[in-house]
Amino acid sequence: MMKKLLARANDYLSLVKFSHTLFALPFALVGFFLGTMAEGERFSLKIFLLMIACMVFARSAAMGFNRYADHRFDRLNPRTAGREIPSGKISQRHALMFVIASSAMFIVSAGFINSLTLALSPVALAVILGYSFTKRFTPLCHFILGLGLSLAPIGAYIAVTGTFALMPLIYSAIVLTWVSGFDIIYALQDDEFDRDTGLYSIPAVMSRRSALMVSLLLHAVTALLVVAAGLAGDGRVIYWIGAFIFLTLLAYQHFIVKPDDLSRVNLAFGTTNGVAGLIYGVMVIIDLLVMV
C-alpha cells in the first residue's frame, strides 16, 4: 500500500517537474526578503510559509495544466510520449482534478496573505495557465512562460508589503529575460515536430542558429539587468560574486549548445540554469541580510 502511494506521489511530482521549482523559487525568496527590508516591515513566518505555498500550488497548477492541455501533442512526439498522461500513468480526468485543486489552493493561500494578493491571484493564474495555449498561435510563447515565472519576485514582495516597488520589478525583469532565453534553447529539440504539427516557437519559425542568437540577446539583456539590480540595490561583494557565477553559467550554456549539436540541451536547460538561479538567489539574499 505504501509503495503504491509513493509511486503515485512520484507520478504527480514528475507530472509537474517539481525539481524545476528551483527556476523561480530563489527569486521569490529574493522578493520576500526585499519586502522584509521595506520600511515598517519585518520577517513573518506565516507570510513566508504562505508565500512558499503559493509558489508550489501555482507552479503545480501551471505544469499540470500544460501537460493536460498538450497531452495530444505529447502523445505524437517521440520525445514526450512517455510522459505521465500519454503513457497512462495519470488519466486526463485526474490531471484536470489536480490542476483545479492546485489552483484553488493557490487562491486560498493568496487570500490568507492580504487583499491585494487575493485580488491578483486570478490574474496570475490566467497568465500561467494561459501560457499552455500560446504555442498554438504565436512564437512569442517563450515570453509568456517567462512572464509567468517573473511574477514570483514581485508577488512575494507584495505578499510582505501589499505594495509595488522598483527593485522586485527589476528582479522580475531578470526572470522574464532569463527564462525566455533558456526556453528557446529547450524548444530547439522540437523545432521539426512543431513545424510539422502547426505549433509555434521561435526555433520552429526561424533557423536554429537565429533562434540561438535571439536567446543570446535575451541573456545579454539579463546581464544588463543583473548589473542594474546590483547598482540600484547597492550590492556588496557577495552580490557581485553571485552575479558573476550566474552570468558565467548563462554564457556557458551558449557554448555547449550548437545548431548542429543538441546533445547537451538538457544539461543547459535543467542543470545549468537550475544551479545558476539557485546560486544567484542565495547570494542575493545573503547580501540583503548582511545589509540589515
pLDDT digits (tens, 9 = 90+) for 173-184: 999 999 999 999
Q: What is the mean pLDDT of the chain?
A: 92
In this predicted structure, what is the pLDDT of residue 286? 95
Q: State the Cα angle at 70 between 118 and 199, rounded to 5°.
A: 110
Over residues 132-156, the pLDDT tens digits come to 999 999 999 999 999 999 999 999 9
166-197 in b/e form (b: 16+ CB < 10 A) is: ebbebbbbbbbbbbbbbbbbbbbbbbebbeee
Using a cut of 0.85, tell me whether the model's pTM lies above it. yes
Per-residue pLDDT band at 6 (split at 50, 70, 90): low
* 41 in a structural domain: yes
* 14 in a structural domain: no
Structural domain total, the chain: 1
- Please report, for the domain that includes residue 260, its CATH number: 1.10.357.140
Residue with cell 520577517: 43
Q: C-alpha grid cell for residue 83?
A: 510522459
Helix segments in the chain, DSSP class H: 2-15, 25-36, 45-69, 71-76, 92-111, 115-134, 141-161, 166-187, 191-197, 202-205, 208-232, 237-256, 265-266, 273-291
Radius of gyration of the chain (CA): 19
Q: Is residue 71 within 8 Å of 96, Cβ to Cβ?
A: no
In this predicted structure, what is the pLDDT of residue 39? 77
* 239 in a structural domain: yes
Per-residue pLDDT band at 45 (split at 50, 70, 90): very high
* 3 in a structural domain: no
* 16 in a structural domain: no
* 17 in a structural domain: no
Range of the structural domain that residue 108 is part of: 22-291
* 177 in a structural domain: yes
In this predicted structure, what is the pLDDT of residue 267? 79
Residue with cell 525566455: 180
Q: Is residue 32 within 8 Å of 160, Cβ to Cβ?
A: yes
